[in-house]
Amino acid sequence: MTAETYTNPVLNADWSDPDVVRVGDDFYLTASSFGRAPGLPLLHSRDLVHWTLVGHALERLEPAGEFTGPRHDCGVWAPSLRHHDDRFWIFWGDPDQGVFQVNAPEIRGPWTRPHLVKAGKGLIDPCPLWDDETGEAYLVHAWAKSRSGVKNRLTGHRMRPDGTDLLDEGKTVVDGDRIPGWFTLEGPKLHRHDGWFWILAPAGGVETGWQGAFRSRGFFGPYEERIVLEQRDTDVNGPHQGGWVRTPSGEDWFLHFQQRGAYGRVVHLQPMRWGADGWPVLGDEGAPVAEHRRPGLPPQPPAAPATDDDFPGGRFGRQWSWTANPQDGWATQHSGDGLKLACVRSADAHDLRRLPSVLTQRLPGSPCAVEVELRLDSREPGARAGLAVLGDAFGWIGLQRGTDGAVHVVHRFAEAVAERERDADHARLAPEGRVRLRIEIAAGARCRFFHDVGDGPRASGPVFAATPWRWVGALLGLFALAPAGQGHAGAATFTRFRISAL
């Protein structure tokens, strides 16, 4: 990479199903957040290469009662971000509820409460279009077979211009079963360009799929199709599902994801142009680029979504989210630095995958070391707190109060098929009830755990291979727990959370 070029991925972590919009000289991106809260992350850039996280559009998932516990493969699927009538709009599909939207006058809000545009099972990946040529508004969406029994087709609707309701029962505008070789057609993004209605939509599945383009003179079809981006002889598997954006000078670019196992869906930036035959050409004649000339935009200082946190006043940064809708009292604000987490009582304390009170952020996509200092303030026997790598399998290292009152460093894990955790190493005494924790994450998301109680860092247990959840990459997590019971169980304090390159 040089000052004139960029290297993919431009977002090297799990920013799944990205969509992008330009307003003036600013670019904004959102992504799937599934069952985590807050949801609908909002990123900002001036050059399409360097991005910062500026907020979230969804404080809590609705209906709130459905998300009191972790539902890692539910919630917010494949949102679409648009700007219309001086407002930002985000539409998404909840596969169990239907199509929702929120809107706001500014990207930082205030955002409206979620509005259910269309109720139904299996309605996913919606995208609106306000057609300036006709004054009509439309919406297209895909289907989740797991809820509806239907997949591989896109359904179109006329929509109220205020985005609150659909005006018809819908019509299949693209049936993937009628296109030889196409399957799992989903994630449509709807555009108007050069007198055509365009639907940019992926097919073929996240691991091995491709990006398709469809065009029609009328919204309800018939549509022609073409594959416009596929792996070819590159190492970018399944390059698809994302957003097209045009710069102020008229350059076209496409942001999409690549599925990378435990790292989730990382985001690539592809050049885009319109061919002589009127069809879009993505990447290097339809193949993903690894390095390319930067967009013709004013240079921006290097930037990336934040990871480190000193937790000033007990508050945590935007990069963190809970594994379900949060409850009051999980984190306590105070006058100093450090994250004070209450030891939440739970009968599921033996399995972090079932707990809503784990504070998480995305696993970086390149080798790194994660460190945090921990003090266990709880006097409750069985109380524990630690640093975790969470997926279908999980591993964590931290502190636990014994029945004898002593605090020990413990290291535990659970395989994907296991219903509860077990020891990865012998417990070691932490005389002052404090420890410096470290996880070194090498290539292939292979994790080595360390602890330091004041006599230098020591390795603990075997290497742990991080795994994804369904649709979601592995997460880094901080937690504080106590066995089921009555009354306040004390707290744990985390300080100086750092992620550094290896």
Query: In terms of Cα–Cα distance, which of 244, 227, 242 is closest to 285?
Result: 227
Q: What are phi and psi of 5, to 5 degrees?
A: -125, 165
Q: What are phi and psi of 445, to 5 degrees?
A: 60, 40
Task: Using DSSP, state whether 302 is helix, strand or coil.
Answer: coil
Concerning whether 415 is annotated as a catalytic residue, the answer is no
CB 70, CB 355: distance < 8 Å: yes
Please give the Cα distance from 500 to 502 (Å, whole number): 7
Please give the Cα distance from 220 to 214 (Å, whole number): 12
CB 33, CB 40: distance < 8 Å: yes
Please give the Cα distance from 212 to 242 (Å, whole number): 11
62, 125, 186, 230: the catalytic one is 186
Please give the Cα distance from 317 to 119 (Å, whole number): 34
Query: In terms of Cα–Cα distance, which of 442, 473, 500 is closest to 15?
Result: 473
Name residue 274's beta-bridge partners: 280
User: Can you spell out the DSSP letters for 87-107?
Assistant: EEEEEEEETTTEEEEEEESST
Please give the Cα distance from 49 to 47 (Å, whole number): 5
Please give the Cα distance from 266 to 235 (Å, whole number): 13
How many CB atoms sit inside 10 A of residue 228's CB?
A: 21
Please give the Cα distance from 452 to 454 (Å, whole number): 5
Task: Using DSSP, state whether 53 is helix, strand or coil.
Answer: strand
Name residue 286's beta-bridge partners: none
Concerning whether 17 is annotated as a catalytic residue, the answer is yes
Long-range contacts of 317-321 (CB under 8 A, 24+ apart): 318/41, 318/53, 318/54, 318/55, 318/56, 319/53, 319/361, 319/362, 320/359, 320/360, 320/361, 321/33, 321/36, 321/37, 321/38, 321/39, 321/56, 321/359, 321/360, 321/361
Please give the Cα distance from 325 to 72 (Å, whole number): 12
17, 47, 252, 421: the catalytic one is 17
- Active-site positions read 17, 186
